[in-house]
Chain A
Amino acid sequence: QTVVTQEPSFSVSPGGTVTLTCGLSSGSVSPNYYPSWYQQTPGQAPRTLIYDTNTRSSGVPDRFSGSILRNKAALTITGALAHDESDYYCALYMGSGISVFGGGTKLTVL
């Protein structure tokens, strides 16, 4: 059973930079997993931020960037704003039409 791992929580100061990661319980994340990132606030549907490791979805500010960092997919938020406080989920494509989500990271901006 493939498990996608994310930090349960993270905190960043307003204006600060934070990097959230997305790993595999066994093995390394590579671009071949087509990592994607989603932002979700309570009661709302997820919003697509990043796909194909580092491509921003339409309308997503360039404060959000994606990369592969030390064998994990990474989402970096530069110049964090109060309204960036959300849950962030990554998803990896495992092939054969199967995607797996990470457990999500609750980001606090304070």
Chain B
Amino acid sequence: QVQLQESGPGLVKPSGTLSLSCGVSGDSISSSNWWRWVRQTPGKGLEYIGEIYHSGSANYNPSLKSRVTISVDKSKNQFSLKLTSVTAADTAVYFCARRDGYKYFFDYWGQGTVVTVSS
């Protein structure tokens, strides 16, 4: 069974960088799947952030592209999210997820982690 687990600081200062990791078990980060990040602001809907393949190829939501970097760490079987120049608007629950490499949907999800941007 594939399991995803987010980790990282729950509090980030404004103008700082949000950094999260997603540990993967039950699958290899080097498999033919894509690894994704999604966020959900308080009381709002889901927002797609981006995805990465084990080769390092990444795709980002155009609205966040200038501030987002997603990377892969094969040695730890995990992938990571960095979001720069954060503001209160980036306060959200951040989910990591998997996209089946041959499909176009989210088939496994992490439980989510809350990140608050505040001084």
Interface residues of A (CB under 8 A from B): 34, 36, 38, 40, 44-48, 51-52, 57, 89, 91, 93, 96-104
Contact = CB atoms under 8 A, between A and B. Distances in A.
B45 A98 contact: no
Interface in B78-97: 95
Nearest to B95: A45
9 contacts: A38-B46, A46-B46, A51-B107, A52-B104, A52-B105, A97-B58, A98-B62, A101-B46, A101-B47
B28 interface: no
B118 interface: no
B59 A97 contact: yes
B105 A89 contact: no
Given A45-B112, A46-B46, A97 B51 contact: yes
Interface residues of B, number: 23
B48 A99 contact: yes
Interface string B25-50: 00000000010101000000111101
Interface of B: 34, 36, 38, 45-48, 50-51, 58-59, 61-62, 95, 103-107, 109-112
B106 A36 contact: yes
A52 B47 CA distance: 20
Given A89-B45, A99-B48, A101-B48, A48 B34 contact: no
A110 to B, nearest CB: 21
Contact of A98 (B59, B95, B103, B110): B59
A91 B59 contact: no
Contacts of B59: 96-98
A38 B48 CA distance: 13
B105 A34 contact: yes
Contacts of A34: 103-105
B45 A104 contact: yes
Given A45-B111, A45-B112, A97-B59, A51 B105 contact: yes
B45 A102 contact: yes
